[in-house]
Structure 1
Amino acid sequence: MLSRRLQRTVTAEDAGLSRAPSTVSELIQEADPLRRLSALTRAELDPTRRHLLSSGLYSLAVLAAPEALQPHRKPPAGPAGAPGRAGRAEVEEMQTMTRVFAEAAQAHGPGHVRTALAAYLGHDATGYLHARATEDLHRQLLSGAAQLTILLGTMCADSGADALAQRYHQTGAQLSVEAGDASTLAIALRTMSAHAHDLGHRTPAVLNLAERAATRETAPIVQAYAQAHLAVVQAHHDKHAALTALTSCERLYEKAHTTPGPFTHYPVGALHYQRAETLAALGDQAGATRALTASLRLRSPAEGQARTLTRARLAESLLGQGHLDAALTHWQTFLDEAPGLHSLRIGRCLDAMRRLLNPHRHHRATAQLLTHAAALY
């Protein structure tokens, strides 16, 4: 009755009728992905339990993909116990919110967006999934929740909460399986592999996830997105396979038709960035620099964080080839753009800049740049 009156699901824990989890392992051990998502987002929004989320450890041992792609979750049936009905309007709302949260994170960094997204997922989105709906609409709602969950996981990774990010990514993958959504599952697998790769892991499990993402039957734009990352991962294992994946990505991209949205569009600047990462891993620093230059040129004004990160990476590449003055020019612009972005990745780029420039600290322009950086941070 309370759930029906509030138009959202109220758990026994919410009502004080059940003990709240006291460890992060209790929060994540729930096998049902929807119940796990509810528990995690509630903890994010509860100041007394938020600290639990930072106590876990990222684990390669649980880096696995769902095995099947057969929808099996049925929508709630009948009026008893169901808090209302969800329909096309709720599906479209979730699609809009996914775009809004993704754009806000790009414009300002994910630091201040993460909590708002967790609140929307924990209250509105999960509420729609507990509401009555046709089977087709329920699957679409599951897809929407999966995409929002993957996006939240990526924001957590950008905040340094790697174990939590891993759990959200896994939850998003499981929800996409329950929705029968092959494209979102491929994106989830690619995201999980990219997160592990960013943390420095180059194991067969990471490669396996990238391969599974790239071999799924999905739209050409999703395949291109997956193949681009597969090229980066393969560069640490097999040069020929890496270049093959890169070529496949570019061919798929040329014939892809996209619509605006974080899960339906792959910016061309991002493709060039992945090309740069692949070439850099293969030892072609000059080629990587050219690809980064192209990536920066093609980044749209809306890609604020991506543009700034690309600029920092280009400065690092230029310095590695001995072009100090050119690198300083890009790092100066990086310092101008960085204060408006709340992102751990931006902070890591700043740390890398200081480390790389330290041997050149007696160079006048370098000293001025480092002084400027010290004043800002």
Structure 2
Amino acid sequence: MPRTPNTRLALLLEAAGWSPARLAAEIRKVAAEQGLTLTIHPTTARRWLDGTHPRPPVSGLLLECLSRRLGRRITAYDAGLTRAPAVVVDPAWEADPMRKLTQLAQAETDPHRRALLSAGVFTATALALPDHAENRKPSGLLASPRGVGRRAGHHDITQLRAMTTVFAAADQHGGRHIRSALAAYLAHEATPLLHRPADTDVHGGLLSVTAQLALLLGSMYADSGHHATARQYHQIAARLAADADDRTTLAIALRTMATHAHDLGHHTPAVLRLAEQADRYAHRAPPAVRAYTRIHLAVLNAHHDRHAAVAALTGAETLYARTPAEPGPFSSYPAGALHYQRAQALATLGDHAAALTALTTSLRLRTPTEHLPAALTRARLAETHLRLGHLEPALTHWNVFVDTYPTLQSTRADTCLTGAVQCLRPHERSAEVAELLRRIGEFTGTLR
């Protein structure tokens, strides 16, 4: 049947200065950022102009590409589309964070709605904390709930904190296998506490710890490759922390958002600004949190300003030297993680020999419980050794990584495994390399 030409999309492409071929190329590029391999031809984009509608996730990727190019949010209506991914929650910062948290967590436990969580697209254009949120003075906690029923108390905060430690420990093997359990806990245990009558200080404490649980779950989604849902959880955590006037947790949330964007390949001034916001909110936080935000500020500055990156590195190391040994996923910062981030900054600055030293220190300082971080550090060590021409130590680290891989439930680990193949192909005439590629091949055909 004849279709109606999509004039809205045509006008947007004209404003962007893009041809259908350029749109197809940009969609493939954004898809690759999110771990998706899509075949989109210019003829496909021309059919969209003729009135055919792309299906998810391509529709969401199309909207993200145009939003980035035009510097404003492009909706499905703006682009003349009707098959954009369904929205599980309102993405606006102003939307009720407790309602959003309930909707997202319940979607994970509902088989019919769970598919929607993987249909979204990570939107770099929606990363920044709104100016009015950053500039506002602390306005106090959200109003404590009123009504009948059991009052929430300090013992509820203690219970939530204990479960935060439990889920953080379980995440050390990767987030895929544990995220449904944490979503169920948030939906059925944590979020209902926020609606119970409580004293102001108790309600604020519940908001803060729930924000930390949401941060953990967001990172588990990111580690599972569901980046749009991860961003939603990170934003919810930031909003809950802001409403509780908990600037320390807000700083951690903003840093987590900046890290997630950086890991997806976004090194733009907007992401740098997010890292700067995190560092400002951490101004009065404990030294561990200040070192945590400052070191990532160095990582992002390395893409923009060498002097600022070196200054941030020095500042993070100074702060870390003053950090007491304090347990807890949101009160401590592992030394191995600090040196891993140092290596990221140094590699971006072009000093790969110093990055190798930092990664070696990072691996040495990893604790026995840091299973996934240690494995990822080994993979990065192997890549860096090979870049410097050291094939033998690279093979040693990659063999250990492959030994560990079956115990991990992580998209990042999957990416490291496929990355190893790309790095090793030029050396496959070596018997040791050929054997390692054979071992990797046992997994790469059925990546989870």
Q: Residues 301, 322 of structure 1: CA spacing in aligned structure 2 closer, same or farther, 3 A cutoff?
A: same
**Code of the aligned partner of 1:237:** H
- Look up the match of 1:342: 409
- Look up the match of 1:8: none
- Spell out, residue by residue over 1:57-86, the C-alpha distance to the aligned partner (whole angstroms, 9 max, x if none): 11122111142443341111231xxx5221
Q: TM-score scaled to structure 1, two decimals?
A: 0.91
The answer as to 2:330 corresponding to 1:263 is yes
2:87 to 2, 15, 25: 25
- Look up the match of 1:197: 262
- Spell out, residue by residue over 1:230-272, the C-alpha distance to the aligned partner (whole angstroms, 9 max, x if none): 0000000000000000000011111122421111000000000
Instruction: Tell whether the 8 Å contact from 1:357 to 1:366 is kept in structure 2 after alignment.
Output: yes
- Spell out, residue by residue over 1:125-171, the C-alpha distance to the aligned partner (whole angstroms, 9 max, x if none): 00111111110011000000000001111110111111111111000
Q: Residues 26, 313 of structure 1: CA spacing in aligned structure 2 closer, same or farther, 3 A cutoff?
A: closer
Separation in 2 of the partners of 1:315 and 1:48?
42
Instruction: Tell whether the 8 Å contact from 1:44 to 1:50 is kept in structure 2 after alignment.
Output: yes
Structure 1 runs, 4 residues or longer, greater than 4 Å off: none
Larger Rg: 2
- Look up the match of 1:292: 359
Name the Cα RMSD after superposition. 1.3
Q: Residues 212, 168 of structure 1: CA spacing in aligned structure 2 closer, same or farther, 3 A cutoff?
A: same
Instruction: Tell whether the 8 Å contact from 1:70 to 1:177 is kept in structure 2 after alignment.
Output: no
The answer as to 2:367 corresponding to 1:303 is no
**Code of the aligned partner of 1:85:** R
The answer as to 2:246 corresponding to 1:246 is no
- Spell out, residue by residue over 1:173-221, the C-alpha distance to the aligned partner (whole angstroms, 9 max, x if none): 0000111101000000000011111111111110001011112222211
Separation in 2 of the partners of 1:246 and 1:303?
23
1:71 to 131, 137, 140: 140
- Look up the match of 1:147: 212
Q: TM-score scaled to structure 2, two decimals?
A: 0.77
Instruction: Tell whether the 8 Å contact from 1:316 to 1:327 is kept in structure 2 after alignment.
Output: yes
Secondary structure of residue in 1 paired with 2:89: helix
Percent identical residues = 51
Q: Which runs of 5+ in 2 are unaligned?
A: 1-83
> More deviation in 317-326 or 252-261?
252-261
> More deviation in 285-294 or 59-68?
59-68
Q: Residues 287, 179 of structure 1: CA spacing in aligned structure 2 closer, same or farther, 3 A cutoff?
A: same
Instruction: Tell whether the 8 Å contact from 2:88 to 2:117 is kept in structure 1 after alignment.
Output: no
Separation in 2 of the partners of 1:349 and 1:56?
24
Secondary structure of residue in 2 paired with 1:48: helix
Q: Residues 371, 26 of structure 1: CA spacing in aligned structure 2 closer, same or farther, 3 A cutoff?
A: closer
- Look up the match of 2:397: 330
**Code of the aligned partner of 2:123:** S
How many corresponding residue pairs? 352
Task: Report matched runs for 1:351-370 at 5 Å.
Answer: 351-370=418-437
- Look up the match of 1:185: 250
1:122 to 170, 184, 187: 187
- Spell out, residue by residue over 1:307-349, the C-alpha distance to the aligned partner (whole angstroms, 9 max, x if none): 0000000000000000001100010000111110110000000
- Look up the match of 2:171: 105
Task: Report matched runs for 1:190-229 at 5 Å.
Answer: 190-216=255-281, 217=283, 218-229=285-296
Separation in 1 of the partners of 2:347 and 2:244?
37
**Code of the aligned partner of 1:184:** T
